[in-house]
């Protein structure tokens, strides 16, 4: 474990903000989302069944990000436990879409790992985020004009935030400073 991770892990106080302006909205929607989230671990998938998708746009990483924010705003322990379950599920799926992007790839999925670390200070989540960063780096392609990153289509490259280089770069910046560099969509 790096010195930076050890130092940060020593701070154990959750960074919750019950007076956050999003409080009333999260308070209204949080219990409803908890009731509707189907636990499909171990499910047998049929053709066309999208239950197994596990990405920011379709699956547990996006759900986890909502519950991290719900915990940050309301401080309710059931929300951080749900976010941790989403993080565990996502981490077990690994590079499920063979894609490095924010929307449905490694960078976006790892956001829930960074957020779990930011709120819990449990170094395990940051180590897992760095593991996903190493997997993301495999997609870096050098060209005479500079580095390019895979887009939505595996045969394409893109500078986009959601499906390309900008989002991947933002994830790497977040890893360097999880508290100072925040996800713009949260």
108 vs 178 by CB, closer to Zn ion: 108
Are 80 and 120 within 8 A, CB to CB? yes
CB 167 within 8 A of CB 103: yes
Which residue number, 104 or 170, has a Cβ lying nearer to Zn ion?
Answer: 104
Which one, 103 or 119, has the nearer CB to Zn ion? 103
- 39 vs 122: CA distance, rounded Å: 24
Q: Where are the alpha helices (DSSP H) in the chain?
A: 3-9, 23-36, 60-74, 77-93, 106-120, 123-137, 165-176
User: Looking at 104, 118, 128, 174, which residue binds Zn ion (CB under 5 A)?
Assistant: 104
Binding mask 143-172 for Zn ion (x = CB under 5 A): ------------------------------
- Contact between 118 and Zn ion by CB under 5 A: the answer reads no
For residue 44 the two structure tokens come to 């047998």
Residues in the interface with Zn ion (CB under 5 A) total 3
Q: Which is nearer to Zn ion, 103 or 123 (CB)?
A: 103
Cα 186-12-63 angle, rounded to 5 deg: 30
CA-CA distance, 163 to 48, in Å (whole number)?
Answer: 23
Among 103, 114, 123, 175, binds Zn ion (CB under 5 A): 103
To Zn ion, the closest distance from the beta carbon of 101 in angstroms equals: 7
Q: From the list 57, 148, 166, 181, which residue makes contact with Zn ion (rule: CB under 5 A)?
A: 57
Residues that bind Zn ion (CB under 5 A): 57, 103-104
């Amino acid at each position: 474990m790096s010195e930076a991770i050890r130092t940060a892990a020593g701070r154990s106080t959750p960074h919750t903000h019950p007076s956050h302006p999003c409080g009333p909205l999260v308070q209204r929607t949080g219990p409803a989302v908890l009731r509707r989230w189907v636990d499909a671990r171990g499910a047998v998938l049929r053709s066309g069944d999208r239950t197994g998708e596990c990405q920011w746009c379709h699956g547990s990483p996006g759900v986890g990000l909502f519950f991290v924010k719900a915990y940050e705003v309301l401080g309710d322990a059931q929300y951080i436990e749900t976010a941790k379950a989403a993080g565990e599920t996502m981490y077990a799926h690994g590079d499920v879409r063979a894609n490095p992007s924010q929307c449905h790839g490694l960078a976006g999925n790892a956001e829930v790992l960074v957020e779990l670390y930011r709120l819990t200070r449990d170094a395990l989540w940051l180590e897992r985020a760095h593991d996903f960063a190493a997997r993301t780096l495999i997609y870096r392609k050098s060209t005479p004009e500079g580095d390019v990153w895979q887009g939505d289509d595996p045969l394409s490259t893109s500078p986009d935030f959601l499906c390309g280089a900008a989002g991947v770069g933002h994830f790497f910046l977040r890893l360097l400073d999880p508290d100072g560099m925040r996800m713009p969509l949260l």
